Amino acid sequence: MGDDKKSKAVNAEVLDRLFATVQARKGADPETSYTAKLFSRGTSKIAQKVGEEAVEAILEAVRGDKAALASESADLLYHLMVLWADAGLEPAEVWEKLAQREGTSGIAEKKARKA
């Protein structure tokens, strides 16, 4: 169980570092940075890429290819973070929403959103 806590911390740190890198590339040259190129193409293109990566992850899950699903999931998380940065959304805001929902039934949480 101790190792499990350590791997979770490393994963959170990886996401924080990824978001910091995405933020740092916001003003970079689109000719030399894929992230900057995405930002230069605007919110619609970034959102489209998030959708494409989500579909690719879904397809790999259905195929049962665990390694490909991990790779597509990494792509999805990256593009999602680009979308967050574009919108001015900090990961901490998302983590807060997740923490608020922790321990709440998904069914109950969905009903509360509709009310």
In the predicted model, is pLDDT for residue 52 greater than 90?
A: yes
pLDDT at res. 1: 46
The domain segmentation of the chain, as residue ranges, is 2-114
More confident residue, 24 or 6: 24
Q: How far is CA 33 from CA 5, 24, 38, 73, 114, in A?
A: 34, 11, 9, 21, 41
Helices 91-101 and 66-87 meet at what angle, rounded to 10? 110
In the predicted model, is pLDDT for residue 109 greater than 70?
A: no
% of the chain beyond a pLDDT of 90: 69
Mean pLDDT of the chain: 89
Quick check: helix, strand or coil at residue 42?
coil
Could you give phi then psi for residue 91, rounded to 5 degrees? -55, -35
CATH superfamily placement of domain 2-114: MazG-like (1.10.287.1080)
pLDDT tens for residues 55-82? 999 999 999 999 999 999 999 999 999 9
